[in-house]
């Protein structure tokens, strides 16, 4: 055994060493042939746009904790890693880089551009993967996938063709959200609204054959050029006389009719709406209801089209100004008022989205959504926390068709071919040479690519080899858990549900764990503009991966945002150091080399009754094991890690190790027993902590006596309830209370910690035998020498005294202490006790309480009252003595 062990834990070398070793030895690899119960997670694939942020660190850590836990429990574990091509996002990143060289993607051409993006992908991906490794993630790298790799492309085509054949995919000309900068259609989800201070322009539309005019209100005057009607509410009394009339569209001199539609709100604006079916979703719908023509006045780059007459060629915002100016010039502007409203921007670049009519591909998701709702209702998939189910239902039941085509170059090209001869479409799994309809050879593949979420939606099964019926699929699908953020429930979770159910007939995952957002210390969202981004890699370099992981685990309340605190993490780094040193301490005292099993401890227990501290720590250990199991089962990782922290530091280190120190040093049976049990408890704790703190626990475990190659496969501790010794736990609690009150008395009397004091103990009730058995411990922990037991009589002279449940104590002093301070302390205690007692008396005096509360609660209350009463009496006496000369 290596006794050369550093005084403090240095993570860097340890982490590098173990990760390499784990990976080389194939520890992360899943075995699809295994007959053990399977546990699988498909990693939410990070985008190959850049590098990982704290959100990823959180997400990955949570998955790894579950994965390592299950692996130790003996499950057949697969955590499948991968990355996402992230169509529009990645294309934008690369385009931005090209722009720095003064180039555009069109300068390169599609093929060359794609090559450049692939180059970028390789770079970004390898960076991301190394970050995931640094976090200690135990995913099966041999199965790593990419949403644009060959296998997934096959899955994408299969799904597309089947949905097309089912009539669930269709192509058509509709009004879609268009980003004039990205030059592509985007889905409703990709539009983010932000409040904007706009204006409401009131424009006069002259009525044909009359001097009267109709005033309409709009926030987008430039779209008036594309108006094809004006609408009023059918029951609006102000406008009854205008029904069926015609108005002259100003600036364009176009005659358009006044229509009635109950969509119009009479209260808003003037109660009359200009209808622009080409550039507004509501107007588009209204246009369909009334068969209105569509006039496109804004083009794909956000510039005014030919249809815009004299404004043609202008940017849409310039056009707005000029249209307003022109109207004003003609005295057609009735009023302008400020008007705050929400404006939709492109999720990826922020550019204000332009609703535009164009030909796109859509998925009819309604039937798929119904199946998904049903599955969640039947609890085939459970959300943690559960309230996200409501959000899921809400969105799913109001779902609209999904626009899946993107006018991009980076992505899965839609598997449809246009025939130049007959104009028909051929949709196929394989590249086609012949038109299905006319057998012509003049085929051109659709140039649009699919929304990046289309391929992500297939992730849980496409990564397992689908459409082939592989062994992996049957073993690992449905996956056990999905760990992801609430921000992509609609984008991703919902769509995986729909696709999984449609193509596998089963939900893609049994449980969805929703993790929150990682915010900064003050609770602000991390963002580049705010400059508060924390780079997980820097943290790992500085504090160690284990500390970073433990910090996120202990802060991760399901579904709740976590403010990431550096000072808190420093605390958990100290925890790592504490673990290191606890191990170090034992290693310095260990003589035996053979592993210590549960059986060894059990036979020790059988031989003779163990000392209190052993019975206590073994019992507490079992309680902690049971609690950890419960918490992990419920995905309460913050509770599990918090409890382990407390147990390890404040029970195992602060009390147990301190208590056994008295036994060590010799080669007595006592010393051996203590070392044995301490080693057992420490080794067990390391196994408990391993999913959270993988590197340090492995390093320490390897140094301690152990069985097996790696802690990764050591069995996760299972609770033995028969070791839970309630009596020992309760006695220990009282003992700690006594120790603490003696220490407090010492500290407040300003007695040097090293100073040994003669002490007198007056046991309460039946406590004497117990106190005598703990005499040496008491001497060590409180620096008392000698300890004298006396029945009731207190020694006179210079003393400091106090009480606890077990005993009164009185410590002899050399010199006088500050009497005033003592009185004050006792006074404070007295006050608190009196309050407690009053409260307990009132409670017990209430007959309803005594009758209705459970017996054990009443009993506990009685006991507390009794103890408080006794203590109070003693304190009073002590105070009286103090007052006497």
Partner RNA sequence: GGGCGAUUAGCUCAGCUGGUUAGAGCGCCGUCCUCACACGGCGGAGGUCACUGGUUCGAAUCCAGUAUCGCCCACCA
Nearer to RNA by Cβ, of 156 and 807: the residue is: 807
Interacting span for RNA (CB under 7 A) from 86-94, 383-391, 405-413, 472-480: 383-391
Q: Which among 515, 494, 570 is positioned nearest to 539, based on CA atoms?
A: 570
Q: Are 844 and 862 in contact (CB under 8 A)?
A: yes
Interacting span for RNA (CB under 7 A) from 111-119, 320-328, 697-705, 743-751: 743-751
Interacting span for RNA (CB under 7 A) from 79-87, 434-442, 581-589, 716-724: 581-589
> Of 802-841, which residues contact RNA (CB under 7 A)?
828, 836
Name residue, tokens 């496109």.
Answer: 296
Nearer to RNA by Cβ, of 6 and 792: the residue is: 6
Give the number of C-alpha atoms closer than 13 A to the C-alpha of residue 604, restricted to the C-beta side. Answer: 23
Give the C-alpha distances (Å, rounded to integers) separating 600 from 69, 300, 679, 720: 25, 77, 11, 14
Nearer to RNA by Cβ, of 421 and 560: the residue is: 560
User: What sign results for the dihedral spanned by CA atoms 547, 549, 550, 552?
Assistant: positive
Q: What would the DSSP string read from start to end of 619-630?
A: HHHHHHHHHHHH
The answer to the question of residue 753 lying near RNA (CB under 7 A) is yes
d(CA 511, CA 308): 53
Q: Residues 3, 378, 522, 593: which binds RNA (CB under 7 A)? A: 522
Q: Which among 255, 252, 257 is positioned nearest to 323, based on CA atoms?
A: 252
Nearer to RNA by Cβ, of 7 and 796: the residue is: 7
d(CA 91, CA 410): 6
The answer to the question of residue 391 lying near RNA (CB under 7 A) is yes
The least distance separating RNA from the CB of residue 664, rounded to whole angstroms, comes to 8
The least distance separating RNA from the CB of residue 373, rounded to whole angstroms, comes to 15
Q: Residues 374, 654, 727, 881: which binds RNA (CB under 7 A)? A: 654
The answer to the question of residue 570 lying near RNA (CB under 7 A) is yes
Number of residues counted as binding RNA (CB under 7 A): 92
The answer to the question of residue 853 lying near RNA (CB under 7 A) is yes
Query: Which residues are CB-neighbours of 361 under 8 A, at least 6 positions away?
Result: 169, 170, 171, 403, 404, 405, 414, 448
The answer to the question of residue 730 lying near RNA (CB under 7 A) is no
Instruction: Tell me the three state secondary structure of residue 415.
Output: coil
The answer to the question of residue 731 lying near RNA (CB under 7 A) is no
The answer to the question of residue 560 lying near RNA (CB under 7 A) is yes
Please give the DSSP secondary-structure letter assigned to residue 237.
G
d(CA 133, CA 540): 11
Nearer to RNA by Cβ, of 266 and 872: the residue is: 266
DSSP β-bridge partners for residue 482: 512
d(CA 778, CA 647): 22
State the pairing for strand pair 509-515/382-384: parallel
State the pairing for strand pair 425-427/443-445: unpaired
Give the C-alpha distances (Å, rounded to integers) separating 190 from 86, 394, 453, 660, 858: 13, 18, 11, 62, 59
Nearer to RNA by Cβ, of 34 and 589: the residue is: 589
> Of 20-59, which residues contact RNA (CB under 7 A)?
none
Q: Residues 92, 228, 452, 577: which binds RNA (CB under 7 A)? A: 577
The least distance separating RNA from the CB of residue 463, rounded to whole angstroms, comes to 27
Alpha helical stretches, state H, 137-193? 150-165
d(CA 817, CA 747): 11
Alpha helical stretches, state H, 437-565? 452-456, 459-462, 471-476, 494-504, 536-543, 545-555
> Of 583-642, which residues contact RNA (CB under 7 A)?
584-585, 588, 631, 634, 636, 638-639, 642
The answer to the question of residue 189 lying near RNA (CB under 7 A) is yes
The answer to the question of residue 362 lying near RNA (CB under 7 A) is no
d(CA 222, CA 205): 14
Q: Are 80 and 140 in contact (CB under 8 A)?
A: yes
Nearer to RNA by Cβ, of 447 and 842: the residue is: 842
User: Distance of alpha carbon 619 from its chain centroid, rounded?
Assistant: 33
The answer to the question of residue 576 lying near RNA (CB under 7 A) is yes
What is the side-by-side order of every strand in the sheet holding 354-363?
Answer: 184-186, 169-179, 354-363, 402-403
Nearer to RNA by Cβ, of 477 and 645: the residue is: 645
The answer to the question of residue 764 lying near RNA (CB under 7 A) is no
d(CA 145, CA 61): 20
The least distance separating RNA from the CB of residue 485, rounded to whole angstroms, comes to 11
The answer to the question of residue 578 lying near RNA (CB under 7 A) is yes
d(CA 218, CA 201): 5
Interacting span for RNA (CB under 7 A) from 2-10, 358-366, 670-678, 693-701: 2-10
Interacting span for RNA (CB under 7 A) from 126-134, 168-176, 553-561, 685-693: 553-561
Nearer to RNA by Cβ, of 59 and 177: the residue is: 177
d(CA 648, CA 722): 21
Nearer to RNA by Cβ, of 80 and 203: the residue is: 203
Nearer to RNA by Cβ, of 281 and 595: the residue is: 281
Q: Residues 148, 739, 767, 778: which binds RNA (CB under 7 A)? A: 739
The answer to the question of residue 769 lying near RNA (CB under 7 A) is no
Nearer to RNA by Cβ, of 210 and 846: the residue is: 846
Nearer to RNA by Cβ, of 164 and 645: the residue is: 645
The least distance separating RNA from the CB of residue 362, rounded to whole angstroms, comes to 16
State the pairing for strand pair 354-363/402-403: antiparallel
> Of 125-154, which residues contact RNA (CB under 7 A)?
none
Q: Residues 151, 206, 440, 563: which binds RNA (CB under 7 A)? A: 563
Q: Residues 35, 567, 606, 608: which binds RNA (CB under 7 A)? A: 567
Q: Residues 748, 768, 870, 877: which binds RNA (CB under 7 A)? A: 748
The answer to the question of residue 199 lying near RNA (CB under 7 A) is no
The least distance separating RNA from the CB of residue 428, rounded to whole angstroms, comes to 33
- How many CB atoms within 10 Å of residue 242? 20
> Of 690-719, which residues contact RNA (CB under 7 A)?
none
């Amino acid at each position: 055994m290596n006794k050369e062990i550093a005084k403090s834990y240095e993570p860097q070398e340890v982490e590098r060493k173990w990760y390499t070793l784990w990976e080389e030895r194939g520890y992360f690899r899943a075995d699809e042939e295994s007959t053990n119960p399977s546990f699988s997670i498909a990693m939410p694939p990070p985008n190959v746009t850049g590098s990982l942020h704290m959100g990823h660190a959180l997400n990955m850590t949570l998955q790894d904790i579950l994965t390592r836990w299950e692996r130790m429990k003996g499950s057949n574990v697969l955590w499948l890693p991968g990355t996402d091509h992230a169509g529009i996002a990645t294309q934008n990143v690369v385009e931005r880089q090209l722009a720095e060289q003064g180039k555009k993607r069109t300068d390169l051409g599609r093929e060359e551009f794609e090559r450049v993006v692939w180059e970028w992908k390789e770079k970004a991906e390898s960076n991301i993967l190394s970050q995931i490794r640094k976090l200690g993630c135990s995913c099966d790298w041999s199965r790593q996938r990419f949403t644009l790799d060959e296998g997934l492309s096959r899955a994408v085509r299969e799904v597309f063709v089947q949905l097309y054949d089912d009539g669930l995919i269709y192509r058509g000309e509709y009004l879609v959200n268009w980003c004039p900068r990205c030059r592509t259609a985007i889905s409703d989800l990709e539009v983010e609204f932000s409040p904007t201070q706009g204006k409401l322009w009131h424009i006069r539309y002259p009525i044909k054959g009359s001097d009267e005019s109709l005033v309409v209100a709009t926030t987008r005057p430039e779209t008036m050029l594309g108006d094809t009607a004006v609408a009023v509410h059918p029951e609006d009394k102000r406008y009854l006389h205008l029904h069926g009339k015609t108005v002259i569209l100003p600036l364009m001199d176009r005659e358009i009719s006044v229509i009635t539609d109950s969509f119009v709100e009479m209260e808003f604006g003037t109660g009359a709406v200009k209808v622009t079916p080409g550039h507004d979703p509501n107007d588009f719908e209204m246009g369909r209801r009334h068969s209105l023509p569509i006039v496109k006045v804004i083009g794909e780059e956000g510039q005014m089209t030919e249809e815009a007459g004299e404004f043609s060629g202008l940017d849409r915002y310039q056009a707005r100004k000029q249209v307003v100016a022109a109207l004003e010039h003609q005295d057609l502007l009735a009023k302008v008022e400020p008007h705050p409203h929400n404006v939709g921007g492109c999720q990826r670049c922020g550019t204000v989205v332009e609703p535009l009519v164009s030909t796109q591909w859509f998925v009819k998701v309604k039937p798929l959504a119904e199946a998904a709702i049903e599955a969640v209702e039947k609890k085939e998939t459970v959300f943690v926390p559960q309230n996200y189910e409501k959000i899921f239902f809400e969105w799913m039941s109001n779902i609209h068709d999904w626009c899946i085509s993107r006018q991009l170059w980076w992505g899965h090209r839609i598997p449809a071919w246009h025939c130049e001869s007959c104009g028909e479409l051929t949709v196929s799994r394989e590249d086609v040479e012949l038109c299905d309809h006319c057998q012509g050879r003049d085929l051109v593949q659709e140039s649009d690519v699919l929304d990046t979420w289309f391929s992500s939606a297939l992730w849980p099964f496409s990564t397992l080899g689908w459409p082939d019926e592989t062994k992996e699929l049957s073993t690992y699908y449905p996956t056990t858990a999905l760990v992801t953020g609430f921000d992509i429930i609609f984008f991703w979770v919902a769509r995986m549900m729909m696709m999984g159910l449609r193509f596998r007939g089963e939900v893609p995952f049994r449980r969805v764990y929703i993790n929150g957002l990682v915010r900064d210390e003050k609770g602000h969202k991390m963002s580049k503009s705010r400059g508060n981004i924390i780079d997980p890699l820097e943290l790992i370099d500085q504090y160690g991966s284990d500390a970073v992981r433990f910090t996120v685990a202990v802060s991760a309340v399901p579904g709740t945002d976590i403010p990431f605190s550096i000072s808190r993490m420093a605390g958990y780094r100290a925890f790592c150091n504490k673990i290191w040193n606890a191990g170090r301490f034992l290693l310095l005292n260990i003589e035996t080399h053979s592993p210590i099993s549960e059986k060894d401890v059990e036979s020790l227990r059988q031989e003779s009754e163990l000392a209190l501290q052993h019975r206590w720590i073994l019992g507490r250990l079992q309680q902690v094991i049971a609690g950890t199991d419960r918490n992990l089962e419920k995905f309460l990782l913050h509770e599990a890690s918090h409890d382990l922290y407390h147990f390890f530091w404040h029970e195992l280190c602060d009390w147990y190790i301190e208590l056994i120190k008295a036994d060590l040093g010799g080669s007595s049976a006592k010393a051996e027993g203590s070392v044995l049990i301490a080693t057992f408890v420490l080794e067990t704790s390391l196994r408990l902590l391993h999913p959270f703190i993988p590197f340090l626990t492995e390093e320490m475990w390897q140094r301690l006596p152990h069985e097996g190659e790696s802690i990764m496969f050591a069995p996760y501790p299972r609770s033995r309830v028969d070791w839970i010794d309630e009596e020992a736990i309760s006695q220990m609690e009282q003992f700690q209370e006594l120790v603490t009150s003696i220490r407090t008395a010492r500290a407040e009397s300003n007695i040097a910690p090293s100073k040994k004091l003669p002490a007198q103990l007056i046991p309460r009730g039946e406590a004497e035998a117990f106190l005598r058995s703990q005499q040496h411990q008491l001497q060590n922990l409180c620096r008392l020498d000698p300890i004298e037991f006396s029945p009731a009589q207190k020694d006179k002279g210079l003393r400091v005294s106090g009480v606890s449940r077990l005993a009164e104590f009185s410590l002899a002093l050399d010199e006088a202490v500050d009497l005033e301070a003592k009185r004050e302390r006792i006074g404070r205690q007295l006050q608190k006790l009196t309050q407690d007692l009053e409260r307990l008396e009132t409670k017990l005096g209430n007959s309803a309480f005594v009758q209705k509360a459970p017996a054990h609660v009443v009993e506990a209350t009685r006991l507390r009252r009794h103890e408080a009463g006794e203590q109070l009496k003693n304190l009073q006496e002590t105070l009286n003595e103090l007052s006497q000369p």
